[in-house]
Amino acid sequence: MSSEMMVLAATAASLGFFHTIAGPDHYVPFIMIARARRWSLLKTAAVTFFCGIGHILSALVLGVIGLALGFAVSRIKAFDSLRDNLAAWFFIAFGIIYFTWGLRQAVRNKPHAHFHHHGNEDGHAHGHTHNDGHLHVHDHGSEANITPWVLFAIFVFGPCEVLVPLVMYPAAKHNLIGAMWVTIVFGAVTILTMISIVTLSAAGLELVPMGRLERYTHALAGLAIVICGALIMII
C-alpha cells in the first residue's frame, strides 16, 4: 500500500470515528428505543448495524452516480445538504409521532388499584395497569416491528457528507482499489463506533432504575429523537 493510501485510510478511520461521535443521531435513537422496547443487546446491535450499512451504502451510491455523471464534489455536497435537512425533518416527524404514541401508552398504563371484599373478611386491594398483560405482546407485533424499518429508512435517506469527498478523491485519480479501501475503512469504523456506543449505553441504561418514569420511556425516546432531528438542523 502506498503512503498516500495509508494517509487516506488513516484519515477515513479518523473521520469515521469523530463523525459518528459528533452526531448523536447516530446512536441516541437506538439507545432510547432499545430501552423503551426492551430490545436485547443482540437485536439492538443488529438494528444499529443494518441502519449503519444503509447509511454508508446510500452515500456510496450517491458518490458513484456523481462520478459517472461527472458532477463536481461541490454539486454533490449541495444535494447532500438538501438530504440532510429532509432527514432532520423525518427525524422530527418520527419523534413527534413516537412521543405522542408513548404518552398515550403511559396514560393507558397508569397504575391503579381495585378493592375486593369477600364476605365478612377485610377487604383488600391489588394494583395493576391495563397494559400489563398486553405491553410485551405489542412489542413483538406489527406496531413494534415497523420501528426498525422507519429508522433504517431515515438512515438510508440521511447523507454521510464526509464519505463522498473521501471516495471521489482517489477515484478521480483512477484508483478504484483505493476508493474501495477508503470506503471499507470509513464504513467499518463508523459502524463499529455506532454499535459500541449503542450497546454499551443501552446495557448501562438498563441498570438505571426509572421508577415512576418507566411507563414514560416510549415518550422519552420520542422526545430524544425530536432533539436529534433539531440538532441535525443546527449543527
Residue 203 falls inside a structural domain: yes
**pLDDT score of 89:** 94
**pLDDT score of 146:** 87
Residue 189 falls inside a structural domain: yes
DSSP state at residue 197:
H
- C-alpha–C-alpha distance, residues 194 and 28, integer Å: 10
**pLDDT score of 232:** 87
Residue 171 falls inside a structural domain: yes
Q: Where are the alpha helices (DSSP H) in 109-216?
A: 135-139, 142-157, 163-172, 176-206
Residue 162 falls inside a structural domain: yes
The number of residues in the chain equals: 235
Residue 102 falls inside a structural domain: yes
Overall number of domains in the chain: 1
**Cα→Cα distances 91→21, 86, 117, Å:** 18, 9, 51
**pLDDT score of 118:** 56
- C-alpha–C-alpha distance, residues 219 and 105, integer Å: 8
pTM of the model: 0.82
Residue 116 falls inside a structural domain: no
* Closest CA relative to residue 227, chosen from 44, 48, 96, 33: 96
Domain span at 160:
3-109+130-208+216-234
Residue 13 falls inside a structural domain: yes
Residue 117 falls inside a structural domain: no
List, run by run, the mean pLDDT of 10-residue segments along the chain (235 residues): 77 91 94 94 96 91 76 72 87 95 86 53 51 42 73 88 71 69 90 97 92 90 95 84
